Chain A
Amino acid sequence: MSSKGNPVAIVMIEDDEGHARLIERNIRRAGVNNELKPFTNGTAALEFLLGPDGSGEVSAGKHLLVLLDLNLPDMTGISILDKIKSNQHTRRSPVIVLTTTDDAREIQRCYDLGANVYITKPVDYENFANAIRQLGLFFAVMQVPETQ
């Protein structure tokens, strides 16, 4: 993953630690070695992304890519997506929604709110692993803009 020399950090918001581990392993297998910050709940993730004051200034100048699960224990992924995309510092960071929900209305809402990619987690592990590996390959060629 390139960002004109600056390292891209992957922020993974995923409450299922098993899934998080599997995602990480498969991304690594695809040769992506960027820093990966796992969060298991929305509150901690938002604090990292937008800072304790919620202004988002802490993320200014960083290169971030967000991997977001919609089913979180403390808040819905949709409200996290909304906050990321409506904050001037983080709105250009690509957000990849990776979730088990395949409800059409949910998918529409995510794209409406500015999600860049929506991926339904395949239940079948083979497909799941395959999808994550392909996502890793995708990351490898993806350009991530600097946050403002």
Chain B
Amino acid sequence: MTAKNIFLVRITAAMIAAGMLIIIAMVGFSYWMLERTGQATEEVLATREIRGAMLDLFSVLQDAETGQRGYLLTSEARYLGPYKEAAEKVDVGFKRLTEVLKRRNNNDDFLERLRGAIDTKLAELSETVELAKAGRRDEAMAIVRSNRGKEVMDQIRGLVVDKRATVEQRLNSAVASQRENASILQWTIIGGGILIVLAGAGAGWAVAGYTREVVQARSQVEALNAGLELRVQERTADLERANEEVQRFAYIVSHDLRAPLVNVMGFTAELNTALEPLRALTSDPSVAELPSAADARTSVETDIPEAISFIQASTKKMDALINAILKLSREGRRTLNPEFIDLGALFNGISASVQHQLVDSGGELVVEGTLPTIVGDRLALEQVFGNLVDNAVKYQAQGRAPVIRVRSRAGGPGAIFIDVEDNGRGIGPADHERVFDLFRRAGVQDKPGEGIGLAHVRALVRRMGGDITLTSALGKGTTFQVKLPRNLRTVSERSGELKG
């Protein structure tokens, strides 16, 4: 990851974190505002209660006064009922007002002053009523006329009105502060919303940038991959061309080498034919008398035939070598034909073909376990394993019955190993690699052969996408490990075509 990518990731994380913080702050602030609003609402309710309580109290006092006045005017007892009722209600109303004000933590002297005024008023009312009851109506009227009762009533009214103004002022300030709070909340929400949108946009921008970079990087990787694949294809094609050229070269060379060889052989034979008349001449008794006859005779009957026989032996050998090259190149050009092959059955066939040789020397070929079925080229596999088994029989140790063991084991993904083990004469460490070279042989050269068998085997195995190695101990035996693909078709598809 580049420094820029780390920066982008950090920016994105920071933006998201900022958005989260803003949301948390807004939630907290809203909760706080809700609390404040609740308080304000309580204030409103309390104010209304205080107002109601004061109004009730005042109206009860007025009722009491009205009853008093009615009784004083008419002296009828029915006005005493409302008066008494009202006078009793005053205490209840005062008690309620006291409670309501206590809830509002009222701590001024309003209540004491109001109580004093109410008590004065009630005392005035009770005094006049008692005087009237006692028949001293004029005295009572004199008290009323003294205007004392009205003054007290006015005092009470003034107290209530003042208190109402104070309470309403408090209510107004609470409402104002709530309005203020609402507006703060509004702005907070708007501001927070804008910040969240900004943070989201920032995060989105960072993510978009990062995504764009990722997409760019991926397309670059894809382009590189495509290029790589193209290069691999080109290299493969080059290799195949080179391989084909080598094969063609081997083919052409072997053909072109053959032509002069035919001449060498042909004219050597012609020389042999031409020697006949010379031989007849030198053995002619009349020629034998000549001084150079003895030398000529030696030449014709010993030297020249000897030279010719060497030439012929050499050309035969060269012919065999050229044939070997030709065979290899032809094998290399042969198209492989993938098919299902039961290796067990294949080894049964090979075993049958060497059966008489094995029986002659008391040996055996043992297939250990069951061999798998693979997809391969029948002819190539027959040649590979036939050659290995032939070699095992051919190079058996002196005085030891040849035992050839064949087994299979896993060889990694899509491959298997077939081991061909013998107890033959073995191959010295110096020759482990050499035996796979063309025209190279190991050990005592007491068996016929040109040294092409293992070279051929290795070429075939490699063409099938496998490999062959050996482990060997001189005098103890050799194990060839043949690694083969389980499916020749996949190998062929990978290399593009079946023919090399």
Contacts and interface: CB of A to CB of B under 8 A. Distances in A.
Contacts of A129: 266, 269
Interface residues on A, range: 10 to 19
Interface stretch (A2-10, A58-66, A119-127): A119-127
A101 interface: yes
Given A123-B319, A124-B319, A125-B269, A22 B255 contact: no
Contact of B260 (A18, A124, A125): A18
Nearest to A20: B263
Interface residues of B, number: 17
Given A100-B255, A100-B258, A123 B266 contact: no
Nearest to B263: A18
A123 B270 contact: no
B331 to A, nearest CB: 14
Interface string B237-257: 000000000000000000110
B304 interface: no
A123 B261 contact: yes
Contact of B258 (A18, A22, A25, A123): A123
Interface string B343-366: 000000000000000000000000
B255 A128 contact: no
B323 to A, nearest CB: 7
A37 interface: no
Task: Tell me the dominant secondary structure on chain B's binding face.
Answer: helix
A57 interface: no
B262 A121 contact: yes
B255 A19 contact: no
Contact of B265 (A25, A71, A124): A124
B444 interface: no
B268 interface: yes
Contact of B259 (A19, A25, A124, A125): A19
Given A100-B258, A100-B259, A22 B267 contact: yes
A111 B186 CA distance: 102
Interface of B: 255-256, 258-263, 265-270, 319, 322-323
21 contacts: A18-B266, A18-B267, A19-B262, A19-B266, A22-B266, A25-B270, A100-B259, A100-B262, A121-B258, A123-B258, A123-B323, A124-B265, A124-B319, A125-B265, A125-B266, A125-B268, A125-B269, A126-B269, A128-B262, A129-B266, A129-B269
